[in-house]
Amino acid sequence: MKQQIETPERRVLAPIFGVSRLRMATDGDGVTTLVTFVGCPLRCKWCLNNQCHQHIKDIPSAKLYSPRSLYHEVSQDNIYFQMTGGGICFGGGEPLLRYRFIQAFHQLCNGRWKITVETSLNVPGYCLRELLTVVDHWIVDIKDMNPDIYQRYTGNDISPMLKRLDHLAAYREIRKITIRVPHIPDFNTDVDVRASIARLREMGFTDIDEFTYRKPIKP
């Protein structure tokens, strides 16, 4: 019997709780499909996708995908991706924690679709390094550049994010990086946001998206 070759794609499974099709001008260029992973190192107070912290069994919409099964599902929109210069945006949760999955998925795409990630960058360094040549566009939500505000809002130390941000700026073209700077109700002020933006511009970032988080509505 012929031995079946085990590829990286065969070894990788990832819990995904959302595959949102036909998005336009929200997750990078062109028409995109947003794929959201379960799992995140942060505990942001106003998290938009708080289900990413739950076990996959407790999320009705979640299931385990292989890179190939996801590829087959999203391929139905191939014509839209190619006509508009769009593709797949990986979010979550924290997509960089699933770097092996994204690597294997990228191999299946063979350069036909643009790969975008929405990340907090608060991950071990190897998670970023493994994707530097895979990701076409980076969307980074920095929360706030003030360490105290960052700690209070996310429950985590800011240092890993700052190190990854420096690394990303050094190894990727600045024009391929969008930095999102949120106004966070009850946590930062307009002055804090302006200070974050000023520091980011000093680091060389030019594409900065300033916006406002919405507090979740309690039932």
| pLDDT value of residue 1 | 38
- Residue 2 maps to a domain: no
- Residue 217 maps to a domain: no
What is the tens place of the pLDDT at every residue in 112-124? Answer: 999 999 999 999 9
Mean pLDDT of 45-56: 80
- Residue 219 maps to a domain: no
The better pLDDT of the pair 208, 57 is held by: 208
Long-range CB contacts (within 8 A, 24+) of 48-55: 48/213, 49/17, 49/18, 49/91, 49/92, 49/93, 50/216, 51/17, 52/17, 52/92, 52/93
Angle between helices 67-74 and 99-109 (to 10 degrees): 50
Q: Is the model's pLDDT at 161 over the cut of 70?
A: yes
CATH number of residue 92's parent domain: 3.20.20.70
| pLDDT value of residue 16 | 95
Q: Is the model's pLDDT at 110 over the cut of 80?
A: yes
48/111 Cα distance (integer angstroms): 31
CA angle 106, 210, 158 (to 5 degrees): 70
- Residue 183 maps to a domain: yes
**What domain range includes position 116?**
8-212
The three-state (H, E, C) secondary structure of the chain, written as one string: CCCCCCCHHHHCCEEEEEEEEEEECCCCCCEEEEEEECCCCCCCCCCCCHHHHCCHHHCCCCEEECHHHHHHHHHHHHHHHHHHCCEEEEECCCHHHHHHHHHHHHHHHCCCCEEEEEECCCCCHHHHHCCCCCCCEEEEECCCCCHHHHHHHHCCCCHHHHHHHHHHHHHCCHHHEEEEEEECCCCCCHHHHHHHHHHHHHCCCCCEEEEECCCCCCC
| pLDDT value of residue 9 | 52
- Total domains in the chain come to 1
Using alpha carbons, select from 132, 144, 219, 121 the residue that is nearest to residue 170.
Answer: 132
What is the tens place of the pLDDT at every residue in 9-24? Answer: 557 899 999 999 999 8
| pLDDT value of residue 26 | 81
Percentage of the chain surpassing pLDDT 70? Answer: 93
Percentage of the chain surpassing pLDDT 90? Answer: 77
Q: What is the pTM of this model?
A: 0.91
| pLDDT value of residue 5 | 42
- Residue 196 maps to a domain: yes
Confidence of residue 28 (pLDDT cuts 50, 70, 90): confident
Is residue 111 reached through a cis peptide bond, with omega within 30 degrees of 0 on the bond before it? no
Confidence of residue 219 (pLDDT cuts 50, 70, 90): low
Using alpha carbons, select from 92, 94, 148, 101 the residue that is nearest to residue 124.
Answer: 94
Using alpha carbons, select from 95, 118, 115, 103 the residue that is nearest to residue 38.
Answer: 95
- Residue 207 maps to a domain: yes
